[in-house]
Structure 1
Amino acid sequence: MVLVVLGAVAQAGGPWLIGRAIDLYILEGDFAGLSRTMLLLLAVYAVGTVASRGQVFGVGSVSQRLLASLRERIFDRLQHLPLRFFDRRPVGDVMSRVTNDVDTLNQLFSQGITQLLGSLFSLIGILVAMLVLQWNLALACFSIIPIMLLTTSFFARRARKAFRLTRETVGDVSAGLQEDIVGVREAQAFNRTERNIARFRERNAANRDANVQAVAITSAFAPAIDVLSTLATALVIGYGGYLVFAGSVSVGVLTAFLIYVQQFFRPVQLASQVYTQAQAALAGAERIYNILDEEPEPDDPPRARKVDAVEGRITFENVTFAYEPGRPVLEDVGFEIQPGQTVALVGPTGAGKTTIANLIPRFYDATEGTVSIDGRDVEQYARKDLRENIGMVLQESFLFSGTIGDNIRYGRLDASQEEVEAAARAVSAHGFITELPEGYETELGEGGGSLSQGQRQLLSFARAVLTDPRILILDEATSNIDTRTEKVIQDALATLLKGRTSVVIAHRLSTIRTSDQILTVREGRIAERGTHDELLAQNGLYADLYRRGQKAS
Structure 2
Amino acid sequence: MSTGYGVSNEDDIDLGKTERLRVRRRSMALLASLASPLHRMLWLTVVLVVISNAAQAAFPLVIAWAIDWALPALISNNPVPLGIASGAYLVSAVIAGVLLGWYNLCTAKVSQAMLLDLRLRVFRHTQRLSLEFHEKYTSGRIISRQTSDLETLRELLDQGVSQLVSGIFFILFTLISIFVLDWRSGLIATAAGIPITVLFIWYQKRSELVYRESRVVSARLIGSFVETMTGIRAVKAFRRESANDESYARLAGEYRENSIRSINLFGVLQPGLVLIGNLTVAAVLLTGGFRVLDGSLAVGTLVALLLASKRVFQPVENIAMFYSSLQAATAALEKVSGLLEEDPGVVEPEHPGRLEVAHGAIDFTGAVFGYGDGPVVMERFDLSIPAGQTVAVVGPTGAGKSTLAKLIARFYDLRSGSLTLDSVPISQLANADLRRHVVMVTQEAFLFSGSVGENIALGRPGASDEEIVLAARAVGAHEFISSLPEGYDTDVNKRGGRVSAGQRQLISFARAFLADPAVLILDEATSSLDLPSERAVQRGLETLLGNRTALIIAHRLSTVETADRVLVVDGGRIVEDGSPAELVAAGGRFARLHGAWKDSLS
- 1:419 pairs, out of 450, 467, 472, with 467
CA contact (8 A) 1:56 1:115 kept: no
CA contact (8 A) 2:419 2:426 kept: yes
SS at match of 2:379: strand
What CA distance in whole angstroms lies between the structure 2 residues aligned with 1:84 and 1:40?
Answer: 67
Aligned: 1:215 with 2:263: yes
SS at match of 1:249: coil
Q: 1:66: Cα distance to partner?
A: 1.1
Aligned: 1:114 with 2:168: no
Aligned: 1:335 with 2:380: no
Counterpart for residue 52 of structure 2: 7
Q: 1:551 to 1:188 in 2, by over 3 A?
A: farther
Instruction: Read off the aligned partner of 1:389 and give its amino acid letter.
Output: H
SS at match of 1:334: strand
Counterpart for residue 123 of structure 2: 75
Partner deviation per Cα, 1:52-77 (whole Å, 9 max, x = no partner) = 22221111121111111111111111
Q: 1:549: Cα distance to partner?
A: 3.0
- 2:557 pairs, out of 497, 501, 509, with 509
Instruction: Read off the aligned partner of 1:167 and give its amino acid letter.
Output: R
Partner deviation per Cα, 1:281-324 (whole Å, 9 max, x = no partner) = 11111111111111135543344211112121111223222224
SS at match of 2:499: coil
What CA distance in whole angstroms lies between the structure 1 residues aligned with 2:167 and 2:240?
Answer: 54
Alignment of 1:17-166 (within 5 A): 17-26=62-71, 30=75, 32=79, 33-34=81-82, 37-166=85-214
SS at match of 1:110: helix
Q: 1:434: Cα distance to partner?
A: 0.6
What CA distance in whole angstroms lies between the structure 1 residues aligned with 2:349 and 2:231?
Answer: 41
Partner deviation per Cα, 1:391-421 (whole Å, 9 max, x = no partner) = 1110001111111111000131111111100
Instruction: Read off the aligned partner of 2:53 and give its amino acid letter.
Output: A
What CA distance in whole angstroms lies between the structure 2 residues aligned with 1:303 and 1:292?
Answer: 24
Aligned: 1:180 with 2:228: yes
CA contact (8 A) 1:8 1:124 kept: no
Instruction: Read off the aligned partner of 2:55 and give its amino acid letter.
Output: A
CA contact (8 A) 1:433 1:439 kept: yes
Deviates more, 1:103-112 or 1:294-303: 294-303
SS at match of 1:447: coil
Q: 1:423: Cα distance to partner?
A: 0.6
Q: 1:28: Cα distance to partner?
A: 6.5
Q: 1:58 to 1:452 in 2, by over 3 A?
A: same
CA contact (8 A) 1:320 1:332 kept: yes
Counterpart for residue 380 of structure 1: 428
Counterpart for residue 287 of structure 1: 335
CA contact (8 A) 1:55 1:118 kept: no
- 1:321 pairs, out of 369, 381, 393, with 369
Q: 1:26: Cα distance to partner?
A: 4.1
Q: 1:104 to 1:303 in 2, by over 3 A?
A: closer
Percent identity over the alignment is 38
Alignment of 1:345-356 (within 5 A): 345-356=393-404
SS at match of 1:348: coil
Alignment of 1:164-203 (within 5 A): 164-203=212-251
Give the number of equivalent residue pairs.
Answer: 553
Partner deviation per Cα, 1:322-378 (whole Å, 9 max, x = no partner) = 224242221123211000001111111111111111111211101122212122321
What CA distance in whole angstroms lies between the structure 2 residues aligned with 1:493 and 1:190?
Answer: 34
Structure 2: runs of 5 or more not aligned: 1-43
Q: For the aligned residues, what is the CA RMSD? A: 1.9
What CA distance in whole angstroms lies between the structure 2 residues aligned with 1:201 and 1:282?
Answer: 27
SS at match of 2:315: helix
Instruction: Read off the aligned partner of 1:539 and give its amino acid letter.
Output: G
What CA distance in whole angstroms lies between the structure 1 residues aligned with 2:425 and 2:524?
Answer: 26
What CA distance in whole angstroms lies between the structure 2 residues aligned with 1:69 and 1:79?
Answer: 15
Q: 1:115: Cα distance to partner?
A: 3.1
SS at match of 1:446: coil
Aligned: 1:546 with 2:591: no
CA contact (8 A) 1:457 1:480 kept: no
What CA distance in whole angstroms lies between the structure 2 residues aligned with 1:533 and 1:164?
Answer: 62
Counterpart for residue 363 of structure 1: 411
- 2:252 pairs, out of 204, 208, 224, with 204
Q: 1:44: Cα distance to partner?
A: 2.1
TM-score, length basis structure 2: 0.88
Instruction: Read off the aligned partner of 1:549 and give its amino acid letter.
Output: W
What CA distance in whole angstroms lies between the structure 2 residues aligned with 1:545 and 1:236?
Answer: 93
Q: 1:298 to 1:337 in 2, by over 3 A?
A: closer
SS at match of 1:519: strand
Aligned: 1:484 with 2:528: no
- 2:570 pairs, out of 522, 537, 543, with 522
SS at match of 2:458: helix
CA contact (8 A) 2:395 2:569 kept: yes
Q: 1:50 to 1:26 in 2, by over 3 A?
A: same
Counterpart for residue 17 of structure 2: none
What CA distance in whole angstroms lies between the structure 1 residues aligned with 2:124 and 2:175?
Answer: 45
TM-score, length basis structure 1: 0.95
Aligned: 1:532 with 2:580: yes
What CA distance in whole angstroms lies between the structure 1 residues aligned with 2:234 and 2:260?
Answer: 34
SS at match of 1:536: helix
SS at match of 1:513: coil
What CA distance in whole angstroms lies between the structure 2 residues aligned with 1:319 and 1:309?
Answer: 25
CA contact (8 A) 1:399 1:456 kept: yes
Counterpart for residue 230 of structure 1: 278
Q: 1:172 to 1:302 in 2, by over 3 A?
A: closer
Aligned: 1:272 with 2:320: yes
SS at match of 2:534: helix
Instruction: Read off the aligned partner of 1:408 and give its amino acid letter.
Output: I
CA contact (8 A) 2:370 2:377 kept: yes
SS at match of 1:364: coil
Deviates more, 1:225-234 or 1:426-435: 225-234
Alignment of 1:255-266 (within 5 A): 255-266=303-314
